[in-house]
Chains A and B, each alone.
Chain A
């Protein structure tokens, strides 16, 4: 073991406090330090992941107090997998935005990278933490970074989007605290494993109240319909890489939190059905809303919401196959949607309104970016042999094994809608005449490297899904093993 999970939080925080100091000495450091930190974290994550795959989960205590007392971090196959993914995406996003908007001044640039790093840290913290109040703190770290990043561009309507996000985010934190209070008042503890082990003692009425508020609070972050009013605006108005980070990192963390709560904390079977129903509604509403969008990033945002609905459905099946499918879907969505956001934002780089029709015929001018966007489109709608196919297949297989014919049919019908709007964009990119008034921007080298890396992963996973399925199987087994989780945490010294 080369490090401990706490470094995922400690190192970025330390770096965050250092950046202003270094920034006074060497201006470029504000861009470089986050990258170094993220690269280090990626190495750390891979090392820990290797360790975890062999030796089982790492439970780390903070401040030397054994779990029911102190806060603990759990780096298991499940959380570790997500952390690795998030840190990797964080590095990609950093790489993409390294030279992005060279006309942006030093001051905002400094803040941008700082906030981006903290966004990732907060998300990673959400995944790692084993304490429910600590979860709240990390959610807030993530949220505030997200508000600020959403409102990053002063010229646009980004403040409006950010404000909506903030309103709903505030409601989320209020609900989260109410739920925490109810649980605490009954069980006298905040540790998730401890709560999980004692949950059966709680009165069902309280349990239900708690899960309603927890589910709503995390649902707001996880973009569940009808709690996702903020999402399309925020995705669309945030800078492109931030949209990628939202889709690939923040939402994943929120989903992780809600799933961890439903699977490990509570023992209510109704919650699984609720997940399926809500997930399905989210999927349908989001995809149908996406088909009529006029703005590219907004369309991607709705698509992202829809995919999250599908993830919820898969988790709601409650079987190990379902969890595997959901995790595979999360992985693919993180990679592919990030690819789409990153390449998509170069497609509409100079455009003011980011309209879909402005990508007309751009394939000739930005061949690589366009190709990557098309690759992403093909992959996200689940066309083989790209990555998205395998996850869609596993979702459907899991649903078939749970005898959910209607779910299969609905998911497939919605997929057709998805196909339609992605293909419309693909058609525009390659087979329309370019509008003369639209100017294009060639991606910088760092952005290209970032996008090509993602594209390569899409292809590799498509042709060789075994590259990730091993981890995913371990991760899904890990999530299903509630007793093991509680045991690992509570029997520490």
Chain B
């Protein structure tokens, strides 16, 4: 039973993460609205973060916190580094999204539309 669960998780977590990334990419590449593109980019970030944190998981591991009493009863811990990285990645993702949204506001102000095909003054 547990084995099958892990089997599903084996593929499931990575699969989900990759799927999220792909959905985000699809949104960013196909959707015509700037806002949807920004959302797509955010979704990519989420997928990446999911993937990142999943790398660090160890079966049966606990959170990497030496809470009181832990040292008396040590258990295997999950990898803390990806978690730290994800923390950084999330914040950076936030920063980028904020800038992206600001740009969308600027573009809307300038062009009066959010349709990406109409925002093509710079080309060739």
Q: Which of A151, A159, A161, A162 has the most chain B CB atoms closer than 10 A to its own CB?
A: A159
Cβ contact within 8 Å between B107 and A184: no
Docked CA distance A133–B81 (Å): 11
Instruction: Report the Cα distance A289→B119, complex, angstroms.
Output: 21
Stretch at the interface among B3-11, B48-56, B59-67, B68-76: B48-56
Given contacts A143-B96, A170-B45, A233-B122, 4 further A-B contacts (CB under 8 A): A140-B96, A160-B119, A166-B99, A167-B37
State whether the Cβ of A388 lies closer than 8 Å to any Cβ in chain B: no
Whether B121 and A157, one on each chain, are in contact in the complex, defined by CB atoms closer than 8 angstroms, is yes
Interface residues of A in 99-154 (CB under 8 A from B): 133, 137, 140, 143-144, 147-148, 151, 154
Cross-chain contact B41 with A163 (CB below 8 angstroms): no
| Residues 12-52 of B at the A interface (beta carbon under 8 Å) | 21, 28, 34, 37, 41, 44-45, 48, 51-52
Contacts of B99 in A (CB 8 A): 144, 147-148, 166
**Chain A nearest CB: distance from B37 CB in Å?**
7
**CB neighbors of A among B68-102 (8 A):** 81-82, 85, 88-89, 92, 95-96, 99-100
Question: Chain A, interface size: which category?
Answer: 35 or more
Interface-side segment among A173-181, A249-257, A359-367, A476-484: A173-181
Q: Which residue of A lies closest to B95 (CB)?
A: A144
Bound-complex Cα distance A79 to B80 (A) = 31
In contact, A154 and B92 (Cβ under 8 angstroms): no
The interface residues of chain B lying within 8 Å CB-to-CB of A90 are none
Residues of B close to A221: CB separation below 8 A: none
Report which of B37, B52, B103 forms a contact with A159, defined as CB distance below 8 A: B103
A437 at interface, CB cutoff 8 A: no
Q: A190 on the interface (CB 8 Å rule)?
A: yes
Q: Which of A140, A169, A237 contacts B122 (CB 8 A)?
A: A237
B110 CB contacts on chain A under 8 angstroms? 157, 159-160
Residue in A137, A174, A184 with the greatest tally of chain B CB atoms within 10 Å: A174
- List CB contacts (< 8 Å) of A405-456 with chain B: none
Chain B proximity of A188: nearest CB distance (Å): 8
Residues of A within 8 A of B85 (CB): 133, 180
Q: How far is the CB of B95 from chain A (nearest CB, A)?
A: 6
A157-B110, A184-B82 known; A174-B96 Cβ under 8 A: no
Cβ-closest chain B residue relative to A143: B96
Closest 10 CB pairs of A and B: A159-B106, A233-B122, A157-B121, A170-B41, A163-B103, A140-B92, A177-B48, A159-B107, A185-B55, A174-B44
Asked whether A177 lies within 8 Å of B52 as measured between CB atoms, the reply is yes
Q: Determine whether the beta carbon of A181 is less than 8 Å from that of B51.
A: yes
A174 touches B21 (CB 8 A): yes
Can you list 11 A-B pairs, Cβ within 8 angstroms, ordered by A? A137-B88, A157-B110, A160-B119, A160-B121, A160-B122, A163-B103, A167-B37, A173-B96, A174-B44, A177-B52, A289-B124
| B20 vs chain A, min Cβ distance (A) | 11
Give bound CA distance, A233 to B107, whole Å: 15
Determine if B92 and A173 form an interchain contact, defined as CB atoms under 8 angstroms apart. Answer: yes
Q: Which residues of B contact A147 (CB under 8 A)?
A: 99, 103
| Closest Cβ neighbor of A155 among chain B residues | B110
Question: What CA separation (Å) do A154 and B110 show in the bound complex?
Answer: 9
CA distance A167 to B85 in the complex (A): 22
Contact across chains for A166 and B96 when beta carbons are under 8 A apart: yes
Q: A242: CB under 8 A from chain B? A: no
